[in-house]
Amino acid sequence: MKIAIGSDHAGFPLKEKIKDLLTQKGLEVIDKGCYNTDSVHYPEFGAAVAKAVADCEVSRGILVCGTGIGMSMIANRFHGVRATLCHNEFTATAAREHNDSNLLCLGARVLDEALALKLVEIWLATEYAGGRHQTRLDLIEELSK
Ligand code: RB5
């Protein structure tokens, strides 16, 4: 699996930890920045990762900012992106099973590092359930035209 990752300054340290985890798992990681803790604007990095998912440059993306909120807002502007802000094991599981999430958003100021890494593991390992959930995802496409 090829995966794009990005953050703002608030998310940078956690992004680096997530990148290590993904690399250890043998995944191909494309880091879209940022590259240090200097203050930046999250939409620029959110857009870069979301565009990579929307353009099928990668199959999945992960974005980290302070809350995960700003990243989820920008990412969901891109057609074909299903960005999900997850806070705990339940939401990370449901994001994949119910929402076929292809972009995980995390809040570095919300989660401790161990939980954040666990959510990444869950989100990577959990399969989409399809069925009635596909009807609902199709409705999102249809109703947002
Ligand atoms: C940066 O201070 C903060 O606003 C950003 O990381 C994020 O939480 C935005 O949603």
CB count in 10 Å sphere of residue 119: 23
pTM: 0.98
For ligand 1, which residues put their CB under 6 angstroms from it?
8, 10, 42, 65-67, 69-70
Residue of 71, 74, 76 to mutate, ligand 1, most atoms within 8 A of C-beta = 71
Active site residues: 65, 98
Measure 9 CA to ligand 1 centroid, in angstroms.
Answer: 9
Task: Please give the average per-residue pLDDT across 111-133, as a whole number.
Answer: 98
User: What are 143's two structure tokens?
Assistant: 């109703």
pLDDT tens string 52-106: 999 999 999 999 999 999 999 999 999 999 999 999 999 999 999 999 999 999 9
Provide the 3-class DSSP secondary structure of residue 53.
helix
Contact predicate 14/64, CB 8 Å: yes
Contact predicate 101/82, CB 8 Å: yes
Taking CA atoms only, the protein residue closest to ligand 1 atom 8 is 66
The predicted pLDDT at position 9 comes to 98
pLDDT tens string 56-65: 999 999 999 9
Q: Is the peptide bond before 65 cis (omega within 30 degrees of 0)?
A: no
The predicted pLDDT at position 45 comes to 99
